[in-house]
């Protein structure tokens, strides 16, 4: 069988684990060598051009002078050619959640028989990919198919090496001719801008006029699986769906808890080191690596950066791991749930706000002034999550993540906040302080009290909370491993911008009336906390009690993606995103359709894959085995031996096989049916009528795996894929 061949191939292959050697090639020397960084810009650009570009990057000034773009393009081209580049590309992030690129050569024929390397400012700033086949959710009718890409100077261009040269990659936004966002980057930049404006108003109230810009920062921890590539090739489901649609629970899974932080297997470690070297060259500040909870599951985490760069870098990280894994005969699985019964993969989105002078606004300070400021920003986040939990939920909705959220390994679909004991205590005191109780005293006095030291969470305490305060940042843990972190951060930035706006407006009113700022804060925050406290939960998010309690508190529990999608086009969402100019109603509508359609397609592919595997792989193996057993029964009968047990086994087998065939037919019929109505109606149909039939078929398929003779079973099993390293 293909399965046995795969195992043989692995056993007989020597992998080259010394493809790079840090003793001769020091990691520190690699950092940023392939990036058109500030340093490179400074060295290669005329001074006024460098200044103009930096003004755009750091302060958001418009690049209006075409001469500047021309000078930057020319320097970029020379630098790229020296690095072996032959082509350039505008890299964009369409609504598929992946990245897209089309390469153009630097060379232009001169007309006299030779060619010149050229790259103009115009080509740097704007591109027109034929993008008619990217999802637009109705924004871009095909007759006006062209969207265009626009240079994002805040994310530096870089060189991507290939075996015989390199490509200059220019990060871009992707918008329609009418200016509507067709991508993940455009709204992210808009949301960062929206948050900056509101965060600055608060800083100003605190007397800080030096800061010109506030950035949101993100450090995404990326989980993934690595298995041998031979297994991938003999599992069509893994290859085409990214996850196994069949597979019996192995005798050993993750129950021994021997994997988390365990020794990293040598081949995997060599691959990781190679990934890190590649990432270093691209200027990605990768920091940690370790084994995750499930067998063959790992995690990589960088040092945080501004959200835009962090998003670009996370996309690159996924790309680098996938490419590098190949060099070591490994396959990188980024799906949220490649294997049933063991942990799936997520992405912890560590999030905060930082000033352009380097101050983390969620860092509790050492003095009362800083503490007051911290409390304001922190309460703003709590208020935002309490007010818009469903938007956070929909930002992590996908067919893949539905397998994971609430499956006792990842946070539940109920959005709540974990504050931890100390911060909870601070908030409690603050909330009670408006009772003006003089009897007990000891209440938090804004601008006077010193906060207790808030411990930096070691990261993994209370994994059960979808949104946790971890000392100087919040960690949004419901993001799926294969998501672009763009979407979740658009939501986070926008809802916090709204909260900051509300708080700034109230405080401005109060202080204009002559009130002392600290006093105004002291009066404003307690009612906000009272109203928001329903979303705070410090206990076990997996527990049955929490689900009941959450229901009592009236917290939304949008269990599946199809429950969540409509939130996007709800009136309050449209108002919110419109008010802060992050997404228009049409853009939200288009996203709603794109997500629903993507859901439909993903489930349809899986359903069809199941039917195909059932008919062409599992059924033939089971029939062969059935024939063998029947022959044995006949032989024993002919020999006159008591064969009751064998006959019983044959009956069992035939029974399961019949049910398996019936379930195959039921799924085939259901998947072939096209539901009436729009993409969302079809998504609902998939969820209600197709997914249950997939689950049913899987039960019988997995049962057969435990009955059919091992030498006939064609598919690599969980015990092999997860443990042969
Ligand atoms: P751990 O959670 O394992 O103790 P850290 O808290 O240091 O480790 O970091 C976890 C992730 O959070 C890292 O990617 C880190 O860069 C990121 N992080 C730390 N501070 C911030 C911040 N201010 N904003 C965004 N992400 C941050
Ligand atoms: Mg963590």
Is residue 176 over pLDDT 90? Answer: no
The pLDDT assigned to 533 comes to: 95
Rounded distance between C-alpha atoms, residue 511 and residue 612, angstroms: 69
How many beta carbons lie within 10 A of that of residue 576, not counting itself?
A: 21
The pLDDT assigned to 434 comes to: 60
Separation of CA 360 and ligand 2 centre (Å): 19
Is residue 538 over pLDDT 70? Answer: yes
Rounded distance between C-alpha atoms, residue 604 and residue 626, angstroms: 31
Alpha helices in 639-690 (DSSP H): 644-672, 679-685
Mean pLDDT of the chain: 92
Residue 352 CA, closest ligand 1 atom number: 24
Rounded distance between C-alpha atoms, residue 557 and residue 567, angstroms: 12
Interval 277-298 mean pLDDT: 94
Separation of CA 216 and ligand 2 centre (Å): 18
Mutational test site, ligand 1, from 363, 473, 492, max ligand atoms within 8 Å of CB: 473
The pLDDT assigned to 584 comes to: 96
The pLDDT assigned to 26 comes to: 87
How many beta carbons lie within 10 A of that of residue 640, not counting itself?
A: 7
Rounded distance between C-alpha atoms, residue 620 and residue 617, angstroms: 6
Q: Strand pairing of 158-162 and 165-176?
A: antiparallel
Mutational test site, ligand 1, from 217, 219, 287, 472, max ligand atoms within 8 Å of CB: 219
Is residue 130 over pLDDT 80? Answer: no
In terms of phi and psi (left: phi > 0; alpha: psi -120 to 50; beta: otherwise), the region of 522 is alpha
Rounded distance between C-alpha atoms, residue 193 and residue 200, angstroms: 11
Is residue 441 over pLDDT 70? Answer: no
The pLDDT assigned to 437 comes to: 46
The pLDDT assigned to 410 comes to: 84
The pLDDT assigned to 137 comes to: 81
Paired with 417 in beta bridges are: 467, 536
Is residue 440 over pLDDT 50? Answer: no
Residue of higher predicted confidence among 257 and 21: 21
Q: Minimum mean pLDDT among 131-135, 577-581, 590-594: which range? A: 131-135
The pLDDT assigned to 141 comes to: 60
Rounded distance between C-alpha atoms, residue 50 and residue 54, angstroms: 6
Identify the band that residue 110 occupies on the pLDDT scale cut at 50, 70 and 90. confident
406, two tokens: 């609430």
Interval 278-289 mean pLDDT: 95
34-58 pLDDT, tens per residue?
Answer: 999 999 999 999 999 999 999 988 8
Residue identifier of the C-alpha nearest atom 22 of ligand 1: 352
∠ CA 208-214-219, rounded to 5° = 135
Paired with 165 in beta bridges are: 162
Interval 78-84 mean pLDDT: 96
Separation of CA 219 and ligand 1 centre (Å): 6
The pLDDT assigned to 128 comes to: 85
Helical packing angle, 585-613 and 571-579, nearest 10°: 120
Q: What is the ipTM of this complex?
A: 0.95
Tell me how far CA of residue 536 lies from CA of 464, 465, 522, in angstroms: 13, 10, 20
Residue 345 burial (CB < 10 Å; 0-12/13-18/19+)? buried
DSSP letter for 440, please: T
Is residue 436 over pLDDT 70? Answer: no
Is residue 1 over pLDDT 50? Answer: yes
Tell me how far CA of residue 406 lies from CA of 334, 477, 547, 569, 600, in angstroms: 19, 12, 10, 24, 21
678-689 pLDDT, tens per residue?
Answer: 999 999 999 999
Identify the band that residue 457 occupies on the pLDDT scale cut at 50, 70 and 90. low
Burial 430-442 (b: 16+ CB within 10 A, else e): bbbbbeeeeeeee
Alpha helices in 111-184 (DSSP H): 121-125
DSSP letter for 414, please: B
- Sign of the CA dihedral running 121, 123, 124, 126: positive
Contacts of 450 (CB under 8 A, 6+ apart): 366, 367, 368, 371
How many beta carbons lie within 10 A of that of residue 120, not counting itself?
A: 13
Say which residue the tokens 């990293």 belong to.
264
Rounded distance between C-alpha atoms, residue 246 and residue 122, angstroms: 51
Residue of higher predicted confidence among 178 and 493: 493
Q: Strand pairing of 467-469 and 417-418?
A: parallel
Residue identifier of the C-alpha nearest atom 17 of ligand 1: 219
573-591 pLDDT, tens per residue?
Answer: 999 999 999 999 999 999 9
The pLDDT assigned to 406 comes to: 80
Is residue 718 over pLDDT 80? Answer: yes
Interval 50-77 mean pLDDT: 90
Q: Which ligand is nearest to the CA of 285?
A: 1
The pLDDT assigned to 576 comes to: 98
497-534 pLDDT, tens per residue?
Answer: 999 999 999 999 999 988 999 999 999 999 999 999 99
Alpha helices in 398-516 (DSSP H): 399-402, 421-432, 486-512
Mutational test site, ligand 1, from 301, 349, 350, max ligand atoms within 8 Å of CB: 350
Identify the band that residue 140 occupies on the pLDDT scale cut at 50, 70 and 90. low
Separation of CA 300 and ligand 1 centre (Å): 12
Tell me how far CA of residue 575 lies from CA of 200, 465, 495, 569, in angstroms: 22, 28, 12, 10
Is residue 287 over pLDDT 90? Answer: yes
Tell me how far CA of residue 244 lies from CA of 208, 284, 340, 613, 721, in angstroms: 54, 31, 8, 11, 11
- 352 and 215 in contact (C-beta within 8 Å)? no
Q: Minimum mean pLDDT among 154-158, 324-328, 603-607, 641-645: which range? A: 641-645
Which of 309, 349, 352 shows the shortest CA–CA distance to 199? Answer: 352
Alpha helices in 533-618 (DSSP H): 544-553, 561-564, 571-579, 585-613
Evaluate if pTM is beyond 0.90. Answer: yes
Rounded distance between C-alpha atoms, residue 568 and residue 34, angstroms: 39
Residues contacting ligand 1 via CB (< 6 Å): 217-219, 221, 301-304, 350-352, 360, 458-459, 470, 472-473
Q: Which ligand is nearest to the CA of 310?
A: 1
The pLDDT assigned to 439 comes to: 44
Separation of CA 348 and ligand 2 centre (Å): 6
The pLDDT assigned to 407 comes to: 78
Rg (CA), the chain: 28
Interval 255-283 mean pLDDT: 89
DSSP 202-241: HHHHTT--S---EEEEEEEEEEEEEEEHHHHHT-HHHHHH
Residue identifier of the C-alpha nearest atom 6 of ligand 1: 459
Most confidently predicted of 50-59, 457-466, 617-626 = 617-626
Identify the band that residue 178 occupies on the pLDDT scale cut at 50, 70 and 90. confident
């Amino acid at each position: 069988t293909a399965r046995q061949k795969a195992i043989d191939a692995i056993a007989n292959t020597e992998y080259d684990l010394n493809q790079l050697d840090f003793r001769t090639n020091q990691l520190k020397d690699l950092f940023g060598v392939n990036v058109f960084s500030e340093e490179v810009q400074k060295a290669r650009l005329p001074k006024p051009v460098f200044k103009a570009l930096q003004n755009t990057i750091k302060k958001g000034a418009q690049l209006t002078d075409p001469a500047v773009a021309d000078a930057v393009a020319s320097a970029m081209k020379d630098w790229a050619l020296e690095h072996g580049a032959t082509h350039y590309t505008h890299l964009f992030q369409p609504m598929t959640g992946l990245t897209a690129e089309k390469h153009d050569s630097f060379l232009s024929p001169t007309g006299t028989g030779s060619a010149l390397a050229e790259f103009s400012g115009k080509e740097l700033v704007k591109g027109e990919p034929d993008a008619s086949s990217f999802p637009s959710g109705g924004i871009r009718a095909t007759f006006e198919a062209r969207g265009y890409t626009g240079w994002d100077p805040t994310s530096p261009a870089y060189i991507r090496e290939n075996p015989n040269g390199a490509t200059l990659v220019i990060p871009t936004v992707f918008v329609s001719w009418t200016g509507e966002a067709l991508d993940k980057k455009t709204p992210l930049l808009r949301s960062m801008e929206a948050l900056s404006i509101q965060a600055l108003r608060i800083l100003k109230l605190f007397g800080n006029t030096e800061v010109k810009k506030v950035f949101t920062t993100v450090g995404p921890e990326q989980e993934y699986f690595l298995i041998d590539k031979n297994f991938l090739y003999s599992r069509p489901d893994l290859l085409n769906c990214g996850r196994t649609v069949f597979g019996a629970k192995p005798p050993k899974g993750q129950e021994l808890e021997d994997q988390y932080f365990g020794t990293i297997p040598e081949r995997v470690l060599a691959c990781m080191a190679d990934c890190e070297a590649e990432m270093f060259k691209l200027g990605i500040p990768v920091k940690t690596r370790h084994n995750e909870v499930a067998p063959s599951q790992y995690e990589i985490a960088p040092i945080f950066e501004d959200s835009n760069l962090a998003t670009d870098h996370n996309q690159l990280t996924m790309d680098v791991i996938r490419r590098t894994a190949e060099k070591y005969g490994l396959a990188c699985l980024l799906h949220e749930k490649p294997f049933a019964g063991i942990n799936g993969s997520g992405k912890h989105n560590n999030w905060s706000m930082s000033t352009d002078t380097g101050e983390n606004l969620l860092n509790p300070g050492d003095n009362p002034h800083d503490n007051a400021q911290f409390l304001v920003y922190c309460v703003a986040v709590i208020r935002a999550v309490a007010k818009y939990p469903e938007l956070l939920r929909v930002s992590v909705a996908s067919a893949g993540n539905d397998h994971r959220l609430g499956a006792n390994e990842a946070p539940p679909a109920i959005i709540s906040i974990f504050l931890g004991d100390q911060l909870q205590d601070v908030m409690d005191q603050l909330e009670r302080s408006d009772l003006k109780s003089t009897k007990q005293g000891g209440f938090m006095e804004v601008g006077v009290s010193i906060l207790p030291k808030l411990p930096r969470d070691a990261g993994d305490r209370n994994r059960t909370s979808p949104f946790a305060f971890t000392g100087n940042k919040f960690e949004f843990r419901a993001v799926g491993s294969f998501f672009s972190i763009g979407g979740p951060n658009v939501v986070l930035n926008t809802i916090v911008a709204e909260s900051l706006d509300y708080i700034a407006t109230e405080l401005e009113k109060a202080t204009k009336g002559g009130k002392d700022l600290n006093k105004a804060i002291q009066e404003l925050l307690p009612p906000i906390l009272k109203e928001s406290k329903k979303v705070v939960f410090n206990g076990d998010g997996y527990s049955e009690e929490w689900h009941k309690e959450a229901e009592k508190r009236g917290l939304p529990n949008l269990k599946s993606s199809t429950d969540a999608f409509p939130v996007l086009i709800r009136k309050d969402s449209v108002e919110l995103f419109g008010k802060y100019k992050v997404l228009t109603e049409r853009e939200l509508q288009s996203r709603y359709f794109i997500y629903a359609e993507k859901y439909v397609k993903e489930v349809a592919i899986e359903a069809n894959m199941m039917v195909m595997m059932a008919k062409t792989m599992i059924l033939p193996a089971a029939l062969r085995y059935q024939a063998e057993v029947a022959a044995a029964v006949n032989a024993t009968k002919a020999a006159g031996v008591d064969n009751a047990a064998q006959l019983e086994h044959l009956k069992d087998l035939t029974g399961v096989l019949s049910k398996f065939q019936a379930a195959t037919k039921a799924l085939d019929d259901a998947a072939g049916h096209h539901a009436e109505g729009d993409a969302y109606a079809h998504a609902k149909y998939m969820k209600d009528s197709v997914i249950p039939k997939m689950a049913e078929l899987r039960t019988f398929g997995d049962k057969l795996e435990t009955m059919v003779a091992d030498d006939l079973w064609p598919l690599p099993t969980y015990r092999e894929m997860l443990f042969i390293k």
